[in-house]
Structure 1
Amino acid sequence: MFGAAAGLCLLPDHYAYRYRTDAFGATGADRTTDISATVSLPGLEPPVLDCELRGDWTTTSAEPDRGWLGPPSGIPPVAWRAGLDLNPLDAADPDTTAWLQTLVWPEHHERRARLRQAGALAAQVKPRILPGDLSEPGVPALHRLVEQVPGDLTLVVFHTAVLAYLPDDARLALADTLRELPGHWVSQEGVNVLPDVHRGAAEAAAEMTEPFFVQSVDGEPTALVGPHGAWIQPL
């Protein structure tokens, strides 16, 4: 994980999720799917992340086998986790958590509450976050981390809203490195951040009138997503 945000982005199995859509299938009925956290800590409530499903997630005549492509039935198990950050932060440090809360817009009270919940979880779990500079040629910190992943596990490298802070040449070089790694590469970045990767999303992106990111898996665009995971629209 790049840009681990004091470890908060390393705990997907510690969070709960609520997916909703306003028009499910031909009936137009609402549908809500709740997914509970698979890992719980005594005395701590998991934050609930809400996501609106946009677009067509159901079977079409052109794709008869597509079926319901909505949220998963559960959260994949996380057997090993670690992050890279230019300046690793400690969620157990009160000054760090206070600073992170100041970055949330004043009127976004629900986001601030979720941040406090996630911070309390990260302070107990203490996920490993190593210092690493993604703009360093060859990204040696990434290779050192990948070498530590147990060989019987599936590697998944994830990042969101991080690569925009890198120079263009470092960004392209990092994308090439990620393509060559074993396992899977999942990214959520601005449409202009990875132009080669996001080329397949250009038509849908041109119609957007609100902020969004492009979600890609293994270098192929799969969806447009709202900031902070507020919505997802398949491509």
Structure 2
Amino acid sequence: MSTDDEQRIAATYDDFGRRWARGTSPLYEDWAIGIGADPEIVALLAELPRPNQQPNIVFAAARWAGIALRPYPEVRDEIVARWGEIVDIAASRTVQTNEPNRCATLLPALSRIEGPIALLEVGTAAGLCLYPDRYSVEYTTPAGRRRFDPSSGPSDVVLACTVDDEASVPVRHPDIVWRRGIDLAPIDAADPDAIAWLTTLVWPGPDHDVRVARLRAAAAIVAADPPDIVRGDLLDLLPEVAASAPAEATLVVFHSAVLLYLDAGERRRFADLVTSLDRPVVWLSNETMGTLPEIDAQVPMDAATDHRFVQTIDGVAVALAGQHGAVYETLPFR
């Protein structure tokens, strides 16, 4: 008979496959559902520390170890045979999905904030989302396609996003005069091994293949002008780092898919912390449903939230943003 922990892990993998990977990464859907129904693998997962049980780290570690991108029945025995190597990789690495295309969903808000802007990202990884003003974006709107380039001209990095309202297209690039990040394990965008790991964290599938090339191109931009990323816990460092931002700038604290790695108490601490800083701040958040109850309560019951974050500004829900930046929808909150 399985333990409660094993039942939780099995349900997590099944949900990952059916709700998150389905329709966007067929192979990960197959792997996740297969593992969720595989008592031997689930029992092995139950022996790991909880952060190392999650599908993203296990799948990336398996790929890093050389497991081929083939259907689950074809790789299952090799996963078992190489389990020790997979566990060691998962223990030495972290999940840091540093997706620059998310900037396409941040720009509608950032472009309307009075500048100059001091940009502070918590959970910044390599800092690829600290440079929204350096990327071009092709927005697909109900009225057609709109290209949005930096003031310096077209970028080597071209993001893509579909919006449900023409008014969501940014009016201008934000005037960013200061940018810093906080991360438990900062990534050097100039480190080939670190960037290779980030690309391994990108899910396989036709919807994601373009993300690898875009990530590498964004890393090159960041490596040429690296940001200051402070190593440490966001709950410990946020007040200190925020205080270092220039007083004449509007401080924007932002994050995407970070709070889900905190427990409920830590999420509440962060929300209280960011809203009580000793200076005015704009809090821009992209997080999944279930992160904070007061945010969940603002989302219409019929809203399609699969593969989407709820974007909030100062705790007010304003849009649904694709988890990898592909869509931006404001109509549910009109």
| TM-score between both structures, scaled by the size of structure 1 | 0.83
Task: After TM superposition, give the deviation of residue 70 of structure 1 in Å.
Answer: 2.3
Q: Contact 1:189/1:215 (CA < 8 Å) preserved in 2?
A: yes
Task: After TM superposition, give the deviation of residue 223 of structure 1 in Å.
Answer: 0.5
| One-letter amino acid of the counterpart of residue 150, structure 2 | A
Residue number among 125, 130, 137 corresponding to 2:230 in the alignment: 130
Q: Tell me whether 1:141 sits opposite 2:208 in the alignment.
A: no
Q: 1:218: which partner in 2?
A: 314
Tell me how large the CA RMSD over aligned residues is.
1.7
Q: 2:216: which partner in 1?
A: 116
Change (3 A) 1:170 1:81: same
In structure 2, the residue corresponding to 1:229 is in which secondary structure? Answer: coil
* Deviation beyond 3 Å, 4+ runs, structure 1: none
Q: Tell me whether 1:82 sits opposite 2:180 in the alignment.
A: yes
Q: Per residue, is there more strand in 1 or in 2? A: 1
Task: After TM superposition, give the deviation of residue 45 of structure 1 in Å.
Answer: 4.5
Q: Contact 2:311/2:321 (CA < 8 Å) preserved in 1?
A: yes
Q: 1:103: which partner in 2?
A: 201
**Comparing 207-216 with 72-81, which one deviates more in the overlay?**
207-216
Residue number among 136, 152, 156 corresponding to 1:46 in the alignment: 156
- Per-residue CA deviations over 1:88-124 (Å, capped at 9, x if unaligned) read 1101111101111111123322111100100111111
| One-letter amino acid of the counterpart of residue 230, structure 2 | L
Task: After TM superposition, give the deviation of residue 11 of structure 1 in Å.
Answer: 0.8
In structure 1, the residue corresponding to 2:196 is in which secondary structure? Answer: helix
Task: After TM superposition, give the deviation of residue 227 of structure 1 in Å.
Answer: 1.4
- Distance across 1 between alignment mates of 2:152 and 2:229: 20
Percent identity for Structure 1 against Structure 2: 42
In structure 2, the residue corresponding to 1:200 is in which secondary structure? Answer: coil
Residue number among 157, 167, 182 corresponding to 2:253 in the alignment: 157
Show structure 1 runs of 5+ residues with no match: 24-29, 58-67
- Distance across 1 between alignment mates of 2:155 and 2:239: 35
Task: After TM superposition, give the deviation of residue 226 of structure 1 in Å.
Answer: 1.2
- Distance across 2 between alignment mates of 1:38 and 1:198: 37
Q: 1:18: which partner in 2?
A: 138
Q: Tell me whether 1:175 sits opposite 2:271 in the alignment.
A: yes
Q: 2:286: which partner in 1?
A: 188
Q: 1:61: which partner in 2?
A: none
Aligned length, in residue pairs: 207
| One-letter amino acid of the counterpart of residue 19, structure 1 | Y
In structure 1, the residue corresponding to 2:171 is in which secondary structure? Answer: coil
Task: After TM superposition, give the deviation of residue 209 of structure 1 in Å.
Answer: 6.4
Q: 2:149: which partner in 1?
A: 36
| One-letter amino acid of the counterpart of residue 87, structure 1 | A
Change (3 A) 1:179 1:197: farther
| Structure with the greater alpha carbon radius of gyration | 2
- Per-residue CA deviations over 1:173-216 (Å, capped at 9, x if unaligned) read 10011122322000000011122133211x25x43163211000
- Distance across 1 between alignment mates of 2:247 and 2:253: 15
| One-letter amino acid of the counterpart of residue 208, structure 1 | A
Show structure 2 runs of 5+ residues with no match: 1-120
- Considering Cα pairs closer than 8 Å and 6+ residues apart, tell me whether 1 or 2 has the greater RCO: 1
Task: After TM superposition, give the deviation of residue 47 of structure 1 in Å.
Answer: 1.2
Task: After TM superposition, give the deviation of residue 38 of structure 1 in Å.
Answer: 3.3
Q: Per residue, is there more helix in 1 or in 2? A: 2
| One-letter amino acid of the counterpart of residue 109, structure 1 | D
Task: After TM superposition, give the deviation of residue 39 of structure 1 in Å.
Answer: 5.0
